[in-house]
Amino acid sequence: MENKLKELTDKLYGEGLEKGRVEAERLVTEAEAKAKQIVAEAESKAAQIVKQAEAKAADIEKNSMTEIALAGKQAVATIKSEIADLIIAKSTDAALKGATLDADFIKSMLLAIAANWNADASKTELKAILPEACEKEFAAKFGASAGELLAAGIEIGYSKDVRTGFKIGEKNGGYYIAFTDESFAALLQQYLRDKVSHLLFA
């Protein structure tokens, strides 16, 4: 009886050990499979992150190069424009200062303006205001041709507010158009800019 009880105990013990060993192996296998899956997922995610980072870096590099190229083109265009402006200013400033204080030049300008002021009007009545500082010189120069200016419908006046060039407007009107160094320079610069740029950079 004792032997049978021992055999039964040993058998139960052996079966329990076997079941425990099988369960342990199953758990180890599952744990290994789970660990492999976690590692694979982590590697996949890491590869995806690296790929995204590389794509972003490439995009940033491309955008940076585009910005640098654009900035370079803008800088070159600005430098070219400034060079052209300096050349135009250097070549026109002295001539303009002389011309806008030259009585013969101003007289021819006044006559041209009067002729084109209002083509429909039978009689043009304009008032030109010249620099007060040049009154004696202009009066002497205009003396011989004062009749020509009056015949064209231009009355001459002087003002200390006008330093160079002249202002002209309708005799009884409330506005004047200024023809100063600055306005002549702006007109010439607009005309010369393309020509100078073409000569320098074409």
pLDDT tens digits, one per residue of 152-193: 888 888 888 887 778 888 877 767 787 776 766 666 666 666
Higher pLDDT, residue 63 or 174: 63
Single-letter residue type at 174: G
> What is the pLDDT at residue 94?
58
> What is the pLDDT at residue 144?
66
> What is the pLDDT at residue 92?
60
> What is the pLDDT at residue 163?
77
Q: What is the pTM of this model?
A: 0.45
Higher pLDDT, residue 44 or 194: 44
Is 126:149 a contact under the CB 8 Å cutoff? no
> What is the pLDDT at residue 67?
85
pLDDT digits (tens, 9 = 90+) for 94-142: 555 555 567 777 788 888 888 887 666 567 788 888 888 888 887 777 7
